[in-house]
Each structure stands twice: as structure tokens, then as C-alpha cells.
Amino acid sequence: MFGWLAAHSPSLCRRAPHTVVSRRARRITPRALIEALPGLGSVLYLHAASNLATLDDLPQGLLAQCAFLPLLSAHWLIAVSVVTDDGPREWCECVDVCGRTRARWHLLPDTDYLAWDALTAACAAVSPPSDTQPWRPGCASVVSFHLREVAGLMLLEQDASPVLSQLGGRIANRIAHAESAVLIP
């Protein structure tokens, strides 16, 4: 049986349906991004395993909690849609000027869909620069973004109590598992 499978697997794989991934991108400034994020409600947030940003790249007048520092290097916003074995999945990627994916946030049942559509509406089918390094998430957590002014600076932080339904929790667990990330409660 193994010999037959080894001999015929290339022809079987060609007939298997390919997963269609829709990727749409738009240029975005860090300020425009962090002003839009609080409207989303609860999302599953993942950041790159190395979330260090150089001090030269940080925009003036903006601050962020440590986990959200990758968002301050936003140059591109990429909206991704795909149908997986678990069903449809949507997420946004924050890409820096070098084309490196710095952070992702996934749509959950508890996310405000109108705010999600408003954030991704200006995304068009363009190709941002892409990095050759694979995306490696550090950890995942369900967050609700909160923006407040502190001494004339805009601070992006995590809301103290993100709202998450049981269904949203199960989906967040499955996405984190698929991303090979540890879900931090």
C-alpha cells in the first residue's frame, strides 16, 4: 500500500483543491492604525517572537504597552481571508517598512464587524514588500485595545476586561494552536 501511495501521491495532490488565500493591502501610518484598533472590541492578538523595535523607527507622540510595540512600526496593513478546515478565518497583519510581519490580530465572533470592515475597507489588491523570514508568533492573547492620552502622548494599552464568549474562547484556542502560539489568558 505504501508503495502505491508513494507512486501516485503527486497525481492525487494535483487534483486536491488548493486553499485560496485573499490578501489585500494598504499603506497605513501607526497613528491611523492605533486610532482604529480600539473600535474592534475583542480580537486574538499575536506579535512577532522578537517584538523589539528600534528607537529610530518609533513615531513621535505615540506610546504602547510592550506587547503592542510592533504596531508602532506599521507601514502596511494586510487583510487576509482564507477558508480552512475549521471554517472561514480572517486576520490583519501589521507589516513594517522592511516587509516583516510584526503582529497579527484575528477576527473573533466577539469582534465588532463594522469596525473591522471600516479598518479593512481601504485595502486593495496590491503587493507590499514581503520578507523572506517566516512569521513566528511569540504568544497569543485575547485583547481589547484602549487608547488614552497621557501628558500629550497617545498611549495604546490593553483594556482591563476584554469581553469573550464561550464560542470566541474556543475559536481563539483553535487559532492559537494553528499559529503554534501559546494562548495567554
**Residue 9: inside a domain:** no
In a domain, 125, yes or no: yes
Residue 7 lies in a domain: no
106 occurs within a structural domain: yes
- Distance separating alpha carbons of residues 124 and 127, to the nearest angstrom: 9
- 60-85 pLDDT, tens digit each: 788 888 889 889 988 899 999 998 87
Q: Considering the domain boundaries, does residue 157 fall inside one?
A: yes
172, part of any domain: yes
Name 169's bridge partners: none
* Residue 50: predicted pLDDT: 64
Domains in the chain: how many in total?
A: 1
Q: Where are the beta strands (DSSP E) in 28-172?
A: 42-48, 62-64, 76-84, 87-95, 101-106, 137-150, 153-158
pLDDT at 156: 92
- Based on its alpha-carbon atoms, the radius of gyration of the chain, rounded to whole angstroms, reads 18
Measured distance CA(133)–CA(55) in Å, rounded:
22
Which domain range does residue 67 map to?
19-184
Return the ∠ at Cα 56 (arms to 52 and 57), rounded to 5°: 65
Count the alpha carbons within 13 Å of 107 in the hemisphere toward its beta carbon.
18
State pLDDT tens for residues 95-108.
888 888 899 999 99
The arithmetic mean of pLDDT across residues 15-39, rounded, is 83
Residue 145 lies in a domain: yes
Q: Say which residues have a Cβ less than 8 Å from residue 176's Cβ, sequence separation at least 6.
A: 44, 46, 140, 182, 183
Domain CATH number, residue 114: 3.40.1570
The neighbouring-strand residues paired with 22 are 81
pLDDT in tens, 129-168: 666 567 788 889 999 999 999 888 899 999 887 889 999 9
Question: Which has more confidence, 115 or 86?
Answer: 115
The answer to whether residue 44 is domain-embedded is yes
Q: How far apart are CA 6 and CA 25, in angstroms?
A: 40
